[in-house]
Amino acid sequence: MQTMQEPGADAPILLTGATGFIGGHLALRLLEQGHRPRLLVREPRRLHPRLLEGAEVLQGDLLDPASLLPAVRGCARVFHCAANVATWDRAEAYEAVNVDGVRNLLQALRARADEGDGLPERLVHLSTVDVYGYPRQPAGEDAPADGGAFGYGRSKARGEALLREQATRMGLSWAVLRPTNVMGPRSPFIERIGDELRSGLMLRVGGGRADCGFLYVDNLLDCMLWAAQAPEAHQACFNVRDPVQVSWARFLADLRSGIAGRGLVLDLPEPVAEGAARLLQAGHRLLRLRGEPLLHPLLVRMFGRSCGHSVERLRAAGAPLGAVGYEQAMQRSVQWYRQHRTAHGQA
C-alpha cells in the first residue's frame, strides 16, 4: 500500500470530491495513514461517518469562489477529485464543474500566494482517459486529447488543459492522472452493472472483446499518493490502469457469476448497438424525457472500444502498479455488492 509522508504537522492535505467514490476512498486512506485531511464538500452529511469524526470538514463549492480561499490556505498538497462524472448530462453542467471549477480552484491558490502564503508543494488533478474520445486503438499520453464527441470527455479535456497551462504559469507543481474504469467497493460500475446482471438486461458490444480498462480503486490511490510527492510526477500526465488485460466479456461473466446474477446479457455488433443508441437518444430528446436513456452512444463506445490504454510512461516513472490483483479486486467488489444489496433489502 502506497503511503505519503506527512508534509508537516501544521500543513493540511486538501481534498475535493470526498463525497464521491474515488475521493471518499482517498480520504479514508489518508485518515488510516494518520493524516487529518481537509475536505472541501458541498454536503457534509454525505461523507463517510469516519470522515465526519476524523477529518477537517469545510463546506464549500467549486462554483462559489468565496468558499475556496479558506480551504486552500496553508495546505501542503491538493488532490482535486471533484467532477461531474455523469454519463448523461447537459454540456453546461459538465462545463460548470469540470472547467469553471478548476479555474476557480486555481484562482483561489493564486489569491493565497498573493497573501504571502506561497503555493502547495503539488496539486494532483484527477482527469480521465475519456479525454481521448474513445479511439479504436489504445492511446498513449501524447495522443490527441480533445474529448471527442461527448460532453464529459470534452469538459475534462478543457479542464485539464486549463490546469496545465495556468498552474505552470503560476509556478505550481502539478501532476495529472487519467484513470481508466475504476472498480471496487462503492464503484458506480459495480453497482450499476451489477444491478443489470442481477435481474435486468445488460448490453455487451461486439462479443465483449474490448479491453475494459480495469483499475482497482486501491491501486489508483497508490498512484495518486505517489504522484503527490514523486519528482518524476512534476508537471507530468499519466494514464492509469491495472497492468492486466481484462475484456468486458470476462468482467461481465465474472461479476455475474460472483453475484449469482439472473439477468440477461444481450450481445450486439457495434454498428447495430450504435444505431439503436442513436434512435433511443433522439426519441428521449424529442419527447423531453427526464433521466438517462436506456441506451445512448457514450455507453456503446464505453463497452465497444478499448480502454486498455498504455501505462508505459507510468511504469517507467517508477509508480506502483497493480498491487491488488484482478481476482482479489473482483472478489472484494462482489463481496461489497452483495452486502450492499442485502443492507437495502435486495438480497
Label residue 263 by pLDDT band (50, 70, 90): very high
Are the beta carbons of 208 and 267 closer than 8 angstroms?
A: yes
Q: Is the pLDDT of residue 346 over 80?
A: no
Which residue, among 32, 239, 52, has the nearest Cα to 131 in the 3D structure?
239
pLDDT of 7 > 60? The answer is no
Our measurement of the distance from residue 246's CA atom to the centroid of its chain's CA atoms, rounded to an integer in Å, reads 19
Distance CA 68, CA 34 (A): 25
CB 149 within 8 A of CB 297: yes
Mean pLDDT value of segment 93-97: 97
Q: 297-345 pLDDT, tens per residue?
A: 999 999 999 999 999 999 999 999 999 999 999 999 999 999 998 887 7
Grid cell, residue 267, equals: 450481445
C-alpha cell recorded at residue 111: 489569491
Spatial separation of the C-alpha atoms in residues 185 and 183, rounded to whole Å: 7
pLDDT given for residue 5 in this prediction: 64
pLDDT tens per residue across span 118-160: 999 999 999 999 999 999 999 999 999 999 999 999 999 999 9
Instruction: Give 28-58 pLDDT, tens digit per residue.
Output: 999 999 999 999 999 999 999 999 999 999 9
Which residues are CB-contacts of 299 (< 8 A; sequence separation ≥ 6)? 87, 203, 277
Backbone angles phi, psi at 342, to 5 degrees: -65, -40
The residues, any chain, with a CB within 8 Å of residue 45's CB and separated by 6 or more, are: none
Identify any residues that bridge with 176 across adjacent strands, giving them in sequence order: 125, 237
Instruction: Give the N- to C-terminal CA distance of the chain in Å, as an integer.
Output: 32
Return the H-helix or E-strand segment holding 218. Answer: helix 217-227
**Domain architecture of the chain: domains with CATH:** 13-180+214-241+308-323 (3.40.50.720)
Predicted confidence band at 10 (pLDDT cuts at 50, 70, 90)? low
What pTM did the predictor assign?
Answer: 0.96
Q: What is the mean pLDDT of residues 249-255?
A: 98
The 10s digit of each residue's pLDDT in 224-250 is: 999 999 999 999 999 999 999 999 999
Q: Distance (Å, rounded) from C-alpha 129 to C-alpha 86?
A: 15
